[in-house]
Amino acid sequence: MATGHTDPQRRERILAATLDLIAEEGIARVSHRRIAQRAGVPLGSMTYHFSGIEQLLREAFGRFTDHIVAVFDEHLGAAADRDQAREAVADLVHELSEDSQRDLVLTQELYTLAARRPAYRELTHEWMRRSRVHLEKHFDPDTARQLDALIEGLTLHRALAREPHGRALTLEAIARVTATERRAPQGSGTP
């Protein structure tokens, strides 16, 4: 085509197609050619817009974490008190584990990369940080940390289980971890 001018939509379409491809077929099947075909752009565009597959992947996963963090913000930002926060967390767990296979798969792919490569770990750090900011508006830091881990586990197990657990169980787990009546039987100190 050669329009003669910058076309920012091309770039976006490539990034979106990259995430779609990873979600559907996995990192192992990602290639310039497949992405290009899916995005409807010529092969040459790939190396024109991105210096290599590495940069492309990092940028694509950057978009993805932006999206996920937005979902967190959307759910948890609205919570006004502790009980609403608990409900919001339950909603979050169920949305992430039920709605879209896409987000689940991409999350796993990102964790897999993060487990090995520090560059991707930065993305998960930022993600964890942001979610904890929300949780710490309603719970003390230690509890927030535990709850954050619980969210992760509940989401994953619900998504992978043969018979996913119901909302009642999710809420009960959340309630237990966030129950603040601390009679200190073992003496673990926190505010």
Take residue 60 and report the two structure tokens written for it. Answer: 């694509």
| Upper half-sphere CA count for residue 34 (Cβ side, 13 Å) | 14
44 binds DNA (CB under 7 A): yes
User: Measuring CA to CA, which residue among 111, 188, 100 is closest to residue 152?
Assistant: 111
Which residues contact a second copy by CB under 8 A?
24, 26-28, 30, 101, 104-105, 108-109, 111-116, 121, 124-125, 128, 142, 145-146, 148-154, 156-162, 165, 168-169, 171-173, 175-177, 179-180, 185-186, 188, 190
Residues in contact with DNA, counted by CB under 7 A, come to a total of 23
Partner whose binding site includes residue 43, from DNA, a second copy, none (CB under 5 to 8 Å by kind) = DNA
- What's the CA gap between 7 and 11, in Å, rounded? 7
State in angstroms the smallest separation of the CB of 7 from DNA: 4
- Whichever of 5 and 176 has its CB closer to a second copy, that residue is 176
Q: Rank residues 8 and 118 by Cβ distance to a second copy and give the closer one.
A: 118
For the CB of residue 34, give the shortest distance to a second copy in the complex, in Å: 13
53 belongs to the binding site for DNA (CB under 7 A): yes
We find the least distance from the C-beta atom of residue 109 to a second copy, in angstroms, to be: 6
Q: Is 28 in the site for DNA (CB under 7 A)?
A: no
Residue type, 84: Q
| Token couple for 172 | 């009960």
Q: Is 1 in the site for DNA (CB under 7 A)?
A: yes
Binder of residue 4, out of a second copy, DNA, none (CB less than 5 to 8 A by kind): DNA
| Residue of the chain from 23, 30, 128, 133 that contacts DNA (CB under 7 A) | 30
CA end-to-end span of the chain, whole Å?
63
CA-to-CA distance for 110 and 118, rounded, in angstroms? 11
Q: Closest Cα partner for 131 from 149, 158, 117?
A: 149
Give me the amino acid identity at 58: R
What is the DSSP annotation of 16-65?
Answer: HHHHHHHHHH-GGG--HHHHHHHHT--HHHHHHH-SSHHHHHHHHHHHHH
Residues that bind DNA (CB under 7 A): 1-7, 10, 30-34, 41-48, 52-53
